[in-house]
Structures are given as structure tokens and as C-alpha cells.
Copies of this chain bind each other. A is one copy, B any other.
């Protein structure tokens, strides 16, 4: 065999990859089984042979979408050692979201959080965990920067992390709904200034 994955594992992955953009675009309630069969070219029988139900697909898709963003950011973070430069990766990435295919339909965390908060406990929990993960990652970058004497010692890691996430998500939402990047650019410019001001 050319791969160690079973046929089912490959089909499962295939379904996730093909339907990921749809869930991110239309949301959980807005995505139908027909959308899944149409996007994959498979039948319901095949989809239900690999997933328990629609929920099961949605949860796997969230992980996939979130992972894509995380990997993309991570690769850029590791391209520099400097803590300030690393923090600047965030505004840089989201400012250019139009150039990043899997961010076109929106931030998976934002989309999922907003739809699922009152309706879908499992998705809600996944979105909440993703946010915690993101916050901790930013906090750790700041702590590392303080330890390396690249960031002011009196910087509050949690505060900066929360501001960074809020600005990105809030501005991203505006960009998506207005169809222009004016506000996103303003917010990311401000965030960059704020980050540069952390320099020791």
C-alpha cells in the first residue's frame, strides 16, 4: 500500500477536507446532508459509514479548521526568535486574511462561537477551548519575551492576550460583514503599535 491509512480513514479525512469550508461558511445549522454529499460526491450511506451523524462531522471539521489556522500561525511564529516579532505575526496574518484561503469564510472560532453559544453545547465547548488555547499561547509568548528581556517586565500577559484576541475577532467580524478591510486595517495598525510599545 502507498499509505498506512485504511480506506475508511482516508475517506473520513476526504469528507472532512471537502466539507470544512462549507461548515465554516454556512454554519452548523445552515449546512445540510445534501451539502455534504454534493461537496464530496459521496452518498449518505458512505458519510454515515464513516461518521455517526452530522454532529460528528461538524465536530471533526471544527478541529480541522482550527488546526489549519493554528499550524499556519505556528509556522510563522517559529520563523523568528524575537518575542515582539512573534507577536506581530498575529496582526500581520489577520490583516491579510483575504490572501489565506481557509480564512476567507471567516475565523472558525468566531463563526462557531457565535452560532453555537446558545444552541450546540459540544461545538460551544470546542470553541471555548480553542480560545483558551489561543490566549495561553499569546501569554506564553509574552512571558518568554519578558524572560528574554525583549518585553517590558511590567507587561501583563493576560491583559495583552485578551486585547489582542478581542481586537482581531472584533475587527475581523467587521471586515467580513462590510466587505471592506478599512476597519480591519485600522485595528491591526493599532494592535501593531500596541505590541511595539511592549518593547523593553
Contacts and interface: CB of A to CB of B under 8 A. Distances in A.
Contact of A127 (B110, B119, B177): B177
Contacts of A106: 114, 117-118
A159 B165 CA distance: 18
A180 B122 CA distance: 17
A162 B178 contact: no
A186 interface: yes
Interface residues of A, number: 43
Contacts of A173: 110, 113-114, 169-170, 173
Contacts of A113: 173-174, 176-177
Given A124-B177, A178-B128, A186 B171 contact: no
A21 to B, nearest CB: 10
A190 interface: yes
Contacts of A165: 170, 174, 183
A187 B167 CA distance: 9
Contacts of A178: 128, 131-132
